[in-house]
Structure 1
């Protein structure tokens, strides 16, 4: 792809067509590799200039379609060019000096210095806005700073789980561990000057809109425990969906004499060598913890309430070769083309699998033919991995369609379960004792350590901050405990210049990652702030009728998505079963919605 990109010689696509085969991904063993490398080496070392001008949309579409062996429709091209790092969208006209001065006088408070908060700082700074980020931790990184449990890492490909404006050539693995993600975020915060705008170990207690001044009073508690009020013209919440550990309601848990630790509150000094460990939960964190500790512990007992669908490993060794890393650092566009490949097969291609076909004849186990095809693929993998353990197989197959809950990447989970010193328990836990756990049938499982892999608090959304809008209206009164709604997942009527990142019904739960969500929403927010200055206004908020109509569309669309399937109960839903986390549309649809704010949808004053 790089060779064709630099030479613009489209005959290469036909000559080396067999190279562009997804089955060769991440192996480095594609046919004709030597011939291609020789040609590329000649192009790069000949001394003749190469064509690095941006590709036209039509040429990019031609190359992209050849690369993935399927049509890349025209509607995807702007998103792909933007998100895969090839070329930024045409820059906006330079702001006149007076407008830029107004922007510098306009101050934005950002809550959270994780992936989304850092991105907000980068883009606010580029647009000329004054901003301050508050974070209760001692460093940037958010969840990648605080989650240090064994095996913690991404389950979205590393080469896409990063900013489009800072493509990283140095990932050591195709699915990298948390320490490398944290290092990347730290480098971004430093390289773009964001760290200078962060106030660490500072907790935001409340945000109150002042009708008279049209500003926000932000009450914070600093590292010395002192409270003060800072003022901001706009507030961006960047604290994410997960807001704290959920501890299981198990009678007697406080009486357990050993060590009980939640994955979100892991002690890095905890030594599990030779210990009897009981792990409660089989979600994303346990899928990583279990295989990471299994070879150290004396006994591992896994308590499962409901199983998860597991995506097959591509190969056992997911280390990025030194040659590939060298190419990403030194060969023009190599990293961008690899990022495109990882994105294409982990994003909207999955959307067809979450759409319910009302005429489908097997609605109890799948929602459509593509959904059933995926289910059969996942079943075949589980059967292959557990061929000699039919007792395990019947207990690890979910009773809901794929994508109903988060599909997890296999980190040797099935292989872990097969080990002699590992037991999977599906009976309910009745109570804890000083020495372990007791199941509903009266069996006691001894344990030295309890690992609580029981997830995170999602609701009430933004509940940890006291937010009040116009006329002192509390956001908790508008949203209640579990009915959050927002226009485009970002703005709320009655709360001027309040912007929510990863807000209600904005998560891309069929693919990709939070990085594209953050960039898309922040692009929209900066567009809203620019609109204010272009119109000489101070605040904007969405019209109630526009907000309500949008959410009616959301609810209607979600009725036809797998997350609303009657067999599914997950953190995507509230207590009544309404899906409050997932976005019902494709990434390309939501990304397109957020390109430019529609002035007619807002009240400006």
Structure 2
């Protein structure tokens, strides 16, 4: 275990799970506040979270670079308007290096469970290796897109060739000259399929439902622009602010007046007509649900890729998978050499597969049986001194999740400071506060475009939206600007000494 620098022997040890944007951002702000008795637990061997895991060809962000980065860690020399995976990962690695976070990180440490010890006001964390770690404060920063979702298709395990999920891309597999099957046409697939068709001899794309795809106003920043951003930080700040307000206006369409999205549907349809010659493929690619109900995708090369003669678009449902083929419900057998799952993530299964036990051994999965919920997406009643980053109903469809994370980090930091002050040993959000907050969120969600009839990763099996925030990001920032201790049951006592 690396040396953990502690400014106070009596201060509670803080454990952060995950080293993506959330975990690193939390750690940076703790250090800036003079708190350095914390440890980051990372199950892999490098920082980066989803930007470490999703290294598939063509991986890129669909939020502009200057906004998809920490406000407190600006980067004036982004190479493109929409950064690609290697550059975002390098940015996170650089943040960790410059802020001296590596001494606080334990790599190769996967958390399988955490249980709250009420008598000692601490969390007992169990790792995959069987080690236990104690923490007075537990912060999870696991993200919503960290557990790949694999399709439940009969015979999927019988496939004899290379098979992998896009979030676990096997870079050792050479696709040149091979027949490739891609299952899924979501946000990842529209990025990697154009790369795959450039290499494969033949590609078959199996689509369950079409997606609304719009053009991406991407482009490289000139050397002159990067010099200006570096020389005049205020210019970069104003540019970032302009992007923010341009995106923020879209919240009205998603959460209030979905009719405002109709012009975007027309633009998406025109985008498809301009880029595709094959009318049959284009017709089958177009979705049958209202725009915005599922995630709107951005791409300039998706339609040209599907339009190629070496690409088959298969919309017949899959019946089974055999050793060397995908068989559809119409009885047609599609021979393939490589199988790629572009089937997304278990976004509604927060913190899975970890087991979190709070007061009285109460299991968080049991508390969330009807769907995940949390006060301001951050704290859960019955789970003291436990904070989540990117928790239930904090995702966005219109702006940068980094803005939301910074709001959450500010709120959590206040909770940490209250617990480090010495007189409060535990904070447990009041059940009535949590219930009232959740009721207001679900009421607001009922009028959003996400509830307009489609099936999406925003909603669980029961149809409850446990993922998205139904409003403006600045309203969330206001809601999280101040941690009010009256929202919490506070107990007084002493934490066990930190490491």
SS at match of 1:467: strand
Residues 11, 420 of structure 2: 8 Å contact kept: no
CA distance in 2, matches of 1:508, 1:198: 29
In the alignment, is residue 439 of structure 1 matched against residue 325 of structure 2?
A: no
1:411 is displaced (CA, Å) by 4.0
Specify the alignment match of 1:56 in structure 2.
Answer: none
2:346 aligned to 457, 478, 486, which one? 457
- CA-to-partner distance for each residue in 1:255-313, whole Å, 9 max, x for gaps? 22221121111112221111111111000110111112222111111111001111213
Q: Given the alignment of the two structures, is residue 401 of structure 1 paired with residue 290 of structure 2, yes or no?
A: yes
Q: Give, in angstroms, the shift of residue 380 of structure 1.
A: 2.1
Aligned partners of 1:247 and 1:454 also within 8 Å:
yes
- Judged with a 3 Å threshold, the aligned counterparts in structure 2 of structure 1 residues 598 and 389 are, in CA distance, closer, same or farther, namely same
| Separation of aligned partners in 2, 1:411 and 1:196 | 42
For 1:531, the equivalent position in structure 2 comes to 418
Q: Where does residue 121 of structure 1 map in the other structure?
A: 27
Equivalent position SS for 2:131: strand
State whether structure 2 residue 409 is matched by structure 1 residue 508.
no
State the TM-score, normalizing by the size of structure 2: 0.93
Q: Among residues 475, 486, 490, which one is paired with 2:378 in the alignment?
A: 490
Q: Secondary structure at the match of 1:294?
A: helix
The residue number in structure 1 matching 2:495 is none
For the Cα contact (< 8 Å) 1:291–1:411, is it kept in 2? Answer: no
Q: Paired residue for 2:496?
A: none
Q: In structure 1, what is the Cα distance between the partners aligned to 2:216 and 2:416?
A: 44
Q: In the alignment, which of 440, 448, 452 is matched to residue 561 of structure 1?
A: 448
1:601 corresponds in structure 2 to 487
State how far apart, in whole Å, the 2-side matches of 1:519 and 1:103 are. 28
| Greater mean deviation of Cα atoms: 580-589 or 513-522 | 513-522
CA change 1:535–1:136 in 2 (3 A) is closer
In structure 1, what is the equivalent of residue 69 of structure 2? 162
Q: For residue 7 of structure 1, what is the aligned residue in structure 2?
A: none
Deviations 1:143-166 (A, max 9, x none): 111222111121111121111011
- TM-score, normalization by structure 1: 0.77
CA distance in 2, matches of 1:591, 1:104: 32
| Structure 1 residue 465 displacement after superposition | 1.3
The CA deviation string for residues 337-360 of structure 1, in whole angstroms up to 9 with x for no partner, is 2222222222x2111111355xxx
**How far apart are the structure 2 equivalents of 1:466 and 1:393?**
45
Alpha-carbon separation, structure 2, partners of 1:243 and 1:182: 15
Secondary structure of the 2:390 match is coil
- Residue 352 of structure 1 is matched in structure 2 by 252
**Aligned pair 1:379/2:269, yes or no?**
yes
Task: Give 1:102 deviation, angstroms.
Answer: 5.5
User: 5+ residue gaps in structure 2?
Assistant: 1-5, 492-499
User: Residues 35-434 of structure 1 correspond to what in structure 2 (within 5 A)?
Assistant: 105-129=11-35, 130-221=37-128, 225=129, 227-314=130-217, 318-346=219-247, 348-357=248-257, 367-368=258-259, 370-386=260-276, 388-434=277-323
Question: Helix, strand or coil: the match of 1:458?
Answer: coil
In 1: Cα distance, 2:362 partner to 2:352 partner: 14
Retained in 2: the 8 A contact 1:104–1:128?
Answer: no
Q: CA RMSD in A?
A: 1.7
Contact 1:532 1:604 in 2 (8 A): no
The residue that corresponds to 1:448 in the other structure is 337
Gaps of 5+ in 1: 1-99, 358-366
Aligned residues: 485
Q: CA deviation at 1:532?
A: 3.8
**Greater length-normalized contact order (CA 8 Å, ≥ 6 residues apart):** 2
For 1:327 and 1:294, locate their aligned partners in 2 and report how far apart those are by CA, in whole Å. Answer: 38
Q: Distance in 1 between the 2:346 and 2:9 partners?
A: 36
Q: Could you tell me how far 1:596 is from its partner in structure 2?
A: 0.6
Does the 8 Å CA contact 2:255/2:448 hold for their aligned counterparts? yes
Write out the 4+ residue segments of structure 1 that deviate beyond 6 Å after TM superposition.
Answer: none
What CA distance in whole angstroms lies between the structure 1 residues aligned with 2:469 and 2:53?
Answer: 27
Q: Distance in 1 between matches of 2:379 and 2:325?
A: 47
